[in-house]
Structure 1
Amino acid sequence: MSAATPSPSFAEPGRAEAVAPPEAAGTRADRFLADAIGSLSRSRVKALIEAGHASRDGAPLTDPSEAVRPGSLYVLAIPPAAPATPQAQPIPLSVVFEDADLIVVDKPAGLVVHPAPGNPDGTLVNALLAHAGEDLPGIGGEKRPGIVHRLDKDTSGLMVAAKTERAHRALSEAFANRDLDRAYLALAWGLPAPLAGEVSAPIGRHPGDRKRMAVVERGGKPATTRYAVERAWGGAVALVRCRLLTGRTHQIRVHLAHIGHPLVGDPVYLRRTPAAARLLPPAPRDALLAFPRQALHAATLGFRHPVTGESLAFESPPPADFAALVALLDGNGQ
């Protein structure tokens, strides 16, 4: 038995205990207990210790950094998850996959992911709280889903959320390490050249508008987007598949605008009527210029299940409004 994998005993619900082996000597108490339990993050264990929920050999343990004493019995009381601050709301969800550890949904455009100033409710988190109900074990001491990545309000497509702390930790690591497959479909003005390539340009806050992102050579964070044109309508519009090698805010929108091909309908990065619009017949041109959101869709999502290790892969076709633009461009729309 190693210090990294002690064997805890769950004597009763909400209680975990472990005897420290010799090789655990000197390890931080919070790290030792987190490794022993396996389903709680170290930060969560640290908070519980500081709140008086831990003991060593029957004596209170309040210092998370205390060095482990071999042979000592460490006990952590895990209180029931408190009700989440966001409230459950019965908002319809398109569930693609769900098990005890995670849920994959196809988010519609217009749905905000997480409550924030300006959007205190009516979000994906509120919907997930209502959907999961009592089956949500909780993360960080609250009954809430673990959001490991986000889509902009008006971007549609696939998202995964964790239902347990263990899944949240593993999925967060996968996203941080880019150990997953994500592809987006975008309708962009003009025809990128070359038809497939890579945009590598740092992204940061726009120096003149803090609500926008921009390519910022000094102070920006490294960002790389790979793209490939799947279809094109002359030099007017292209259907582009994008893959992210990094995960910056608005990355695809910023990078395609940076190379001169902003997304159709983008309210932030499409600053004027593009010259390429003149290449279209009136009906599709007017429809694309009037499109009320960025034409961006998270079409594929693949990752390893954080508990079973199984490879999971999901696909989502573009939603009706996006598909209607493609039909108009093909001459098949109304």
Structure 2
Amino acid sequence: MSGSDAGRDGVRGARPGREALTGAHGRRRGRGEQPMVPDAEFSSYYGTPVLNKPTWKPLDIAGYLYLGGLAGASSLLAAGGQLTGRPGLAAPAKLGAAGAISLSLAALVHDLGRPARFLNMLRVFKPTSPMSVGSWLLAGYAPLTLAAAATEVAGRYRLLGSAATVASAVLGPAVATYTAVLLSDTAVPSWHEGYRELPFVFAGSAATAASGLALAAAPPAQAGPARRLAVLGAALELGAFRAMKRRMGLAAEPFGQGGPRVLMRAAELLTAGGAVLAVSRGGDRRLAVVAGAALLTGSAALRFGVFQAGVASAEDPRYTVVPQREGLARDH
């Protein structure tokens, strides 16, 4: 056999078909015959992963996920503070949303390498592509938050600032959660298998981050909505994450190993503790700052943990092949 023939056979071997995944002798055993050789334990082809792991820069993309959530939920708090006569809550939320989305875009562009690559994603609009929808969403949302923050700082053009604040709040929930859809749309096992619950996990995480910023920056007398949002966000984040892990089966395993395990455990403790502190003594300024810091840090730990768990699941062929085998077994 020539070298090229061997290479072609090797490529064919790297893509196991139905017989390869279920065992070449699976049907013969049903007739009482014994296989000539034992079933091979699948690892990968020449030690290479079945999937290419994400090439995104961890700090850039995990930071992009976190800051986008913080921005989107902060816009909701900003609009709520504005509409209920709480300027001490609205002002830091507007500034926080503008700052967070600016840093989020900077992290995304840094990962892409050149600003032109982000602009290229705006050349077409594909409703079926989470990346395309997300790019257009950011392109519309970022100017609104910047306008709201600029008019707040300048103290002028209040009507324009109010309109921009409300409009950014309309887009805020999508900005906070579309990245979960983006991750779930990939073939990475620990992201793809969480497609049902991950948007709710990210929504809760965004709410806790925004409430944490507001608790740390707003006067306690005007931070009531932030305290309530902290409790609701923590309940949604922790509850949805536990439900996701139960349903995902094997693909949930990377969340409980190595670095992701440390980050997810820290996220649970900080988020739950921050929510409890947020409502324990609402008028205590120092306690509010501690609660806010815990919620902000917990939300960041969750986003970084989700990112790392996905990368780990892509590196291990077991998380791709075993579910395929189980699915084929159920079909038969």
In the superposition, the TM-score normalised over structure 2's length comes to 0.25
- Looking at both structures, which has the greater relative contact order when contacts are Cα pairs under 8 Å and sequence separation is at least 6? 2
Instruction: Return the structure number with greater helix share.
Output: 2
Instruction: Return the structure number with greater strand share.
Output: 1
